[in-house]
Amino acid sequence: MRVNPSDAAAPESGRSFTTDARRAQIVAAAIETVAELGYARASFAQIAKRAKLSSVRLISYHFDDKEDLFQALVDTVQEQARVAMQPRIRAHTEPAAMLAAYIEANLEFLAEHPVEVRALVDVLANARREDGSPLVSSAGFDTPVALLVQHLRDGQRSGAFRRFDAEAMATAIRASIDAAAGRLASGDDFDPRAYGRELVALFALATRNQEAS
């Protein structure tokens, strides 16, 4: 799971509390439906049934279309990750400790939110328009990679990390974390926390500046 470490809170929606609560109820039902049935079978009828709505028209009232609903699903899980992970990362100031916390926080989120992760991975992989283009935007998942690159370079400048290609290292870190999300989404029986500990040890060795030890 990728998280933008910005402290900025989401802007006020301008909607009423009741409306926001209903939207959240529908998104939660969409997450559960996709996690259980897959995106292809996650119809408005199935989502309305899980949300205990009297009619699918209530979904259409709160969301413009399928794209609007599933973009809200992606944004919701991303925000859940930000809220869960950010305090753990920002509790540290030393580059190596922050990197370890970043990896551990990602895997902890996967371990604690398997339903959300399965839904997110399925939507990002399979939600497509007729022309094959993605139905929803995953732009929010790209910025943190650039921020991870910046963190690695800052660590190199401070002497905490050795010299290496920061973009290649950031890509390797993200790919390793994303592989865990894929395994979890596919139903693979593994321990995300144990996997995370291995990644921490691996990338500590890969990035450590031995001359500064």
pLDDT per residue over 155-177, tens digit each? 999 999 999 999 999 999 999 99
Q: How sure is the predictor about 191, in pLDDT bands with cuts at 50, 70 and 90?
A: very high
CA dihedral 158, 159, 163, 167 (to 10 degrees): -30
- pTM, rounded to two decimals: 0.85
pLDDT tens by residue, 103-154: 999 999 999 999 999 999 999 999 999 999 999 987 655 567 889 999 999 9
Q: What's the confidence (pLDDT) of residue 140?
A: 59
Residues β-bridged to residue 208: 161
Q: Which of 50-59, 65-74, 137-146, 203-212 has the lowest mean pLDDT?
A: 137-146
pLDDT of residue 211: 87
- Going by C-alpha positions, the residue among 37, 62, 119, 64 that lies closest to residue 46 is 37
Distances (CA, A) of 209 to 86, 114, 150, 152, 206: 26, 35, 17, 12, 9
Q: What is the pLDDT of residue 7?
A: 41
Instruction: Name every residue whose Cβ is closer than 8 Å to that of residue 183 and which is 6 or more positions away in sequence.
Output: 190
Answer yes or no: is pLDDT of 10 > 50.
no
pLDDT for the residue numbered 8: 40
> Which helix (H) or strand (E) segment is 170 a member of?
helix 166-185
